[in-house]
Amino acid sequence: MSEFYFSCIECGTTFSLSENIYRCPRCGDLLEIKVAVDELRGRVDFEGLRRLPLSVWRYAPLLPIADRLKIVTLNEGGTGLHRCRRLGSLLGLEHLYVKNEGENPTGSFKDRGMTVGVTRALEVGAKRVICASTGNTAASLAAYSAKAGLETIVLIPSGKIAYGKLAQAIVYGAKIVQIRGNFDEALKIVFEICSRNREIYLLNSINPFRIEGQKTLAYEVCDQLSRQPDYFIIPVGNAGNISAAWKGFTEYYELGQIEAKPRMVGVQAEGAAPIAEAVAKRRYTIKPVEKPETIATAIRIGMPVSWKKALRAIYESEGTAITVSDEEILEAQSLLARLEGLFVEPASATPIAALKKLKEGGYLSRDDVVVCVATGHGLKDPDVVSRLYEKPVELEADVSSIERFLGLAEKEVAVDSPKPAC
Ligand code: F0G
């Protein structure tokens, strides 16, 4: 495991993975797990690796888990990269793809991080795990820790998570606390609980092992395309996933597996957009949003913990960040479902909503290879559909009234004529 070590993104101090830490013990900033690329380059058989089924653990040699017998898996990763011809032709994009992370075991990209994070929890001997969540992290953690036989605690903002996600956490048997506050407050409390109770293992995306699992999103997209995308468009909430994907692309590039790195485009909802605001002003710090608000509850976050990593991903890649309104999000959700057969939750429709603006603004061209990440399944949030979409009609159970409703021409009632006797 010497090819993996913690490194502080600010002061650069390095630490062995044998230490059980989430933040830099010296300056308190974010940690990342560095992969000693030069050591791995000659040692990993990428051709052999690509003959294995597409999945998170296909990339095991690039993941910092020492004991493979401990791996906690529900078969995560290996999600579809869908070519979207109908939506693409509407928007004037020839090579538009959606990476559908809703195909993961609990219906979101979080499973990539949890398979690695919960395995690490076992490695450090944890018995209890905890997270704050807008819903998907809670559902995923509850599932993986159930499989591992660990106790799960989740803190969620009361009344502000989609019912499908809450149902998952309940059924998987998590201890759920709904707080009278938002996600940012829940996360602060979780940090404090973990610093006062060192035996409880923290599984929010500040934990670098989560990021390691999530970086496989980028590896998979490159392997599916047999090249790198030109643009990678992804929703941003707590800013873990954009940081993870950028790490994945950077490593794949340094390992000689792709020829260039994509531009990263972060998408936020208008009412919860501290990163997009910073990028618009070319700033290197963010101004937290006190009262974040959006229909996309998954990304209703005003103080993204990994903001520094996200800004670096966007600036280093020469990408950008953009906001979309709730109305644009719902329109995009419906468009993706009706044109491509992909039903995603509102947060996951934000990249689709952004496409129109990016194309019209001249940021994207017809020939660009564009990948949008659909982070979570539409069934997670059935309330949005029942509240905001037209209700289906209800009719009497009789053929003619249904035909009339369908606009089918009225017909004479057919009477079978008796067959002539031979
Ligand atoms: N999309 C969905 C469906 C999400 O659930 C999240 C985050 C994001 C996008 C944003 O990802 O936080 O890495 O920038 N959900 C977290 C949760 C916060 O608790 O489930 P991010």
What's the gap in Å between 165 CA and the centre of ligand 1? 12
pLDDT number for residue 1: 58
Task: Note the pLDDT tens digit of each residue in 285-307.
Answer: 999 999 999 999 999 999 999 99
Going by alpha carbons, the residue nearest to atom 11 of ligand 1 is 237
pLDDT of residue 418 exceeding 80: no
What's the gap in Å between 102 CA and the centre of ligand 1? 12
Please, which pLDDT band fits residue 414 given cuts at 50, 70 and 90?
low
pLDDT number for residue 175: 98
Q: Which of 178, 210, 299 to mutate to test the pocket of ligand 1 (most atoms within 8 A of CB)?
A: 299
Q: Which of 125-139, 253-267, 408-422 has the lowest mean pLDDT?
A: 408-422
Cβ–Cβ under 8 Å, residues 346 and 293: no
pLDDT number for residue 268: 98
pLDDT number for residue 42: 87
pLDDT of residue 209 exceeding 60: yes
- Neighbouring C-alpha atoms within 13 Å toward the C-beta of 418: 3
Ligand 1: atom nearest CA of 236 is 14
Q: What is the mean pLDDT of residues 275-285?
A: 98
Ligand 1 neighbours by CB, cut-off 6 Å: 108, 133-137, 205, 235-241, 298-299, 345, 347-348, 375-376
Ligand 1: atom nearest CA of 134 is 19
Q: What is the mean pLDDT of residues 317-339?
A: 98
pLDDT number for residue 26: 97
Task: Note the pLDDT tens digit of each residue in 137-179.
Answer: 999 999 999 999 999 999 999 999 999 999 999 999 999 999 9
Q: Which SS3 state, helix, strand or coil, does residue 154 take? A: strand
Alpha carbon separation from 12 to 25, 33, 181, 183, 251 (Å, rounded): 12, 11, 35, 29, 18
Ligand 1: atom nearest CA of 101 is 3
What's the gap in Å between 135 CA and the centre of ligand 1? 8
pLDDT number for residue 2: 72
**156 membership: H or E segment, kind and range:** strand 151-157
pLDDT of residue 332 exceeding 70: yes
Q: Which SS3 state, helix, strand or coil, does residue 282 take? A: coil
Of 247, 208, 60, 32, give the one whose Cα is nearest residue 120.
Answer: 208
Please, which pLDDT band fits residue 417 given cuts at 50, 70 and 90?
low
d(CA 226, CA 222): 6
Name the residue with tokens 């982070």: 375
Ligand 1: atom nearest CA of 301 is 18
What's the gap in Å between 136 CA and the centre of ligand 1? 7
Give phi and psi for 404, each to the nearest 5. Answer: -60, -45
pLDDT number for residue 421: 57
Q: What percent of the chain has pLDDT over 70?
A: 97
Ligand 1: atom nearest CA of 243 is 13
Cβ–Cβ under 8 Å, residues 30 and 10: yes
Residue 133 CA, chain-centre distance (Å), reads 13
Amino acid 301 reads I
Cβ–Cβ under 8 Å, residues 52 and 58: yes
Which residues sit opposite 97 in a β-bridge? 83, 371
The mean pLDDT value of the chain amounts to: 96
pLDDT number for residue 6: 98
The DSSP output letter for 149 is T
Ligand 1: atom nearest CA of 345 is 3
Instruction: Write the burial class of residue 74 (CB in 10 Å: 0-12 exposed, 13-18 middle, 19+ buried).
Output: middle
pLDDT number for residue 378: 98
Of 380, 386, 377, give the one whose Cα is nearest residue 348.
Answer: 377
Radius of gyration of the chain (CA): 23
Q: What is the mean pLDDT of residues 230-258?
A: 98
Give phi and psi for 57, each to the nearest 5. Answer: -80, -5
Please, which pLDDT band fits residue 20 given cuts at 50, 70 and 90?
very high
What's the gap in Å between 86 CA and the centre of ligand 1? 27
Q: What is the mean pLDDT of residues 185-194?
A: 98
What's the gap in Å between 299 CA and the centre of ligand 1? 6
Q: Which of 137, 141, 342 to mutate to test the pocket of ligand 1 (most atoms within 8 A of CB)?
A: 137
Instruction: Write the burial class of residue 60 (CB in 10 Å: 0-12 exposed, 13-18 middle, 19+ buried).
Output: middle
Q: What is the mean pLDDT of residues 263-277?
A: 98
Cβ–Cβ under 8 Å, residues 30 and 9: yes
Count of residues making up the chain: 422
Task: Note the pLDDT tens digit of each residue in 25-63.
Answer: 999 999 999 999 998 988 999 999 999 999 999 999 999
d(CA 159, CA 169): 15
Please, which pLDDT band fits residue 7 given cuts at 50, 70 and 90?
very high
Please, which pLDDT band fits residue 251 given cuts at 50, 70 and 90?
very high
pLDDT of residue 328 exceeding 90: yes
